[in-house]
């Protein structure tokens, strides 16, 4: 295979770049360049711009708004979005529940939800992790009891990203107990406005409110909201998680951050010289770039394989590899930003954190915004080693793929 774009693909890349340059709102791009936090309104606004263009869900079938692009064109689009940078689509909706509904949902579920996902009319969250059932997801205990035409839910989910924004949750629940804990799990769509649902915030160490606890107390869910067959939810969850891990490498995000680090290192001084001339800093930066190039080549080989055999997605082992290395590289780039900010990274509290601490901070704001966000961004992305299946779990998947059971 040739890891090189064809003239047609280069033309497509230029078209994507031109669209991004003319269509991404300036305030949203500025937030992303400075590792600022996007609001719900920011993400919805951008998703609807994409939907008007017809590029909101390019990997879906054409009948549901897809583009019929090749695997390489989808890769180019994703990487250019990340590198510009532009906000990614809401992955819980577009990359997770959307493909599950297309593959396993009823016709009524497809008609009801897919157009609204493409336009981000509904905000979705993921109800998988529980206390005691994170990496060991199959140990989940949230129960759903069938009562006529409804299920009755009781239990708790945790680390539920953006549940405080959500209109809907796709949720794994236990509907039976079998010899294997993976059996007897079902996949339900839960309206977050239902009576009996309580959402409590969890403030993470960087000071953000992104994740939540969600409690279910006799929540009634129509049986029509069951996806696929009862007790086969584990199969649908594996399908969803494989897609999640395959898109988690975010090569374009790391490229954009390295470009930003180089720009900043040329203007920030240490001992009278720009940081970009500091030998130790340059060595660390070069090491991350080498790792990133290797990851990009691995992802391109995966894309080329999809192009050749017509399949989408990736094997469990390849998805695990992309997840582990992608997370390590993204974390390494945030470490470089903290090193670049030096002592300015910690004592500063930016406007978002000011809202959380209230009157507890009365000091002057003396550093540029990028330096203020360096430490919170560093702490924020520690989570990548855990979510989407912890790195330890992914290494077990790789080991089974290489050595067998």
Is 244 one of the annotated active-site residues of the chain? Answer: yes
> What is the spatial distance between Cα 126 and Cα 244, in angstroms, rounded to a whole number?
12
- What does the buried/exposed string (b/e) look like for 317-341 if buried means 16 or more CB atoms within 10 Å of the residue's CB? ebbbbbbbbbbebbbbbbebbbbbb
Place of tokens 């649908």: 236
> What is the spatial distance between Cα 213 and Cα 133, in angstroms, rounded to a whole number?
13
Q: How far is CA 384 from the centre of its chain?
A: 9
- Which residue in the list 130, 206, 210, 244 is annotated as catalytic? 244
In sign, the C-alpha dihedral spanning 315, 317, 323, 329 is: negative
Q: What is the 3-state secondary structure (H, E, C) of the chain?
A: CCCCCCHHHHHHHHHHHHHHHHHCCHHHHHHHHCCCCCCHHHHHHHHHHHHHHCCCCCCCCHHHCCCCCCHHHHHHHHHHHHHCCCCCCCHHHHHHHHHHHHHHCCHHHHHHHHHHHHCCCCCEEEECCECCECCCHHHCCCEEEEECCEEEEEEEECCCCCCCCCCEEEEEEECCCCCCCCCCEEEEEEECCCCCEEEEEEECCCCCEEEEEEEEEEEEEEHHHECCCCCEHHHHHHHHHHHHHHCCCCHHHHHHHHHHHHHHHHHCEECCEEHHHCHHHHHHHHHHHHHHHHHHHHHHHHHHHHHHHCCCCCCHHHHHHHHHHHHHHHHHHHHHHHHHHHHHHCCCCCHHHHHHHHHHCCCCCCCCHHHHHHHHHHHHHHHHHCCCCCHHHHHHHHHHHHHCC
CB 212 within 8 A of CB 202: yes
Which residues belong to the active site?
A: 244
């Amino acid at each position: 295979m040739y890891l090189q774009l064809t003239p047609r693909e280069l033309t497509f890349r230029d078209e994507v770049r031109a669209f991004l340059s003319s269509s991404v709102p300036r305030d949203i791009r500025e937030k992303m360049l400075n590792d600022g936090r996007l609001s719900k309104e920011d993400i919805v606004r951008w998703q609807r711009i994409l939907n008007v263009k017809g590029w909101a869900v390019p990997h879906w079938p054409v009948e549901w708004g897809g583009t019929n692009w090749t695997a390489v064109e989808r890769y180019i689009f994703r990487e250019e979005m990340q590198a510009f940078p532009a906000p990614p689509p809401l992955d819980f909706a577009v990359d997770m529940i959307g493909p599950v509904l297309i593959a396993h949902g009823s016709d009524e579920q497809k008609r009801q939800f897919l157009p609204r996902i493409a336009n981000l009319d509904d905000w979705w969250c993921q109800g998988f992790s529980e206390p005691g059932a994170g990496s060991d997801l199959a140990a989940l205990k949230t129960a759903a009891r069938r009562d006529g035409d409804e299920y009755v839910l009781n239990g708790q989910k945790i680390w539920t990203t953006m549940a405080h924004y959500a209109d809907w949750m796709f949720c794994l629940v236990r509907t039976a107990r079998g010899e294997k804990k993976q059996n007897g799990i079902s996949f339900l769509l839960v309206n977050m406005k239902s009576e009996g649902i309580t959402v409590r915030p969890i403030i993470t160490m960087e000071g953000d409110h992104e994740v939540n606890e969600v409690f279910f107390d006799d929540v009634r869910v129509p049986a029509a909201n069951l996806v696929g067959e009862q007790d086969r939810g584990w199969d649908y969850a594996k399908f969803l998680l494989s897609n999640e891990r395959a898109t988690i490498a975010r090569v374009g995000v790391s490229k954009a951050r390295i470009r930003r680090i180089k720009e900043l290192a040329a203007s920030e001084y240490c001992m009278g010289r720009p940081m970009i001339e500091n030998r130790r800093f340059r060595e660390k930066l070069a090491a991350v770039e080498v790792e990133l190039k290797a990851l990009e080549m691995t992802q391109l080989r995966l894309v080329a394989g999809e192009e050749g055999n017509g399949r989408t997605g990736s094997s469990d082992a390849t998805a695990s590899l992309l997840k582990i290395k992608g997370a390590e590289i993204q974390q390494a780039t945030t470490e470089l930003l903290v090193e670049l900010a030096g002592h300015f990274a910690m004592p500063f509290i930016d406007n978002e954190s000011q809202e959380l601490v209230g009157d507890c901070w009365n000091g002057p704001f003396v550093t540029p915004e990028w330096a203020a966000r360096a430490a919170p961004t560093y702490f924020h992305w520690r989570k990548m080693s855990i979510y989407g299946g912890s790195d330890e779990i992914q290494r077990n998947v790789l080991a089974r793929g290489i050595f067998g059971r």
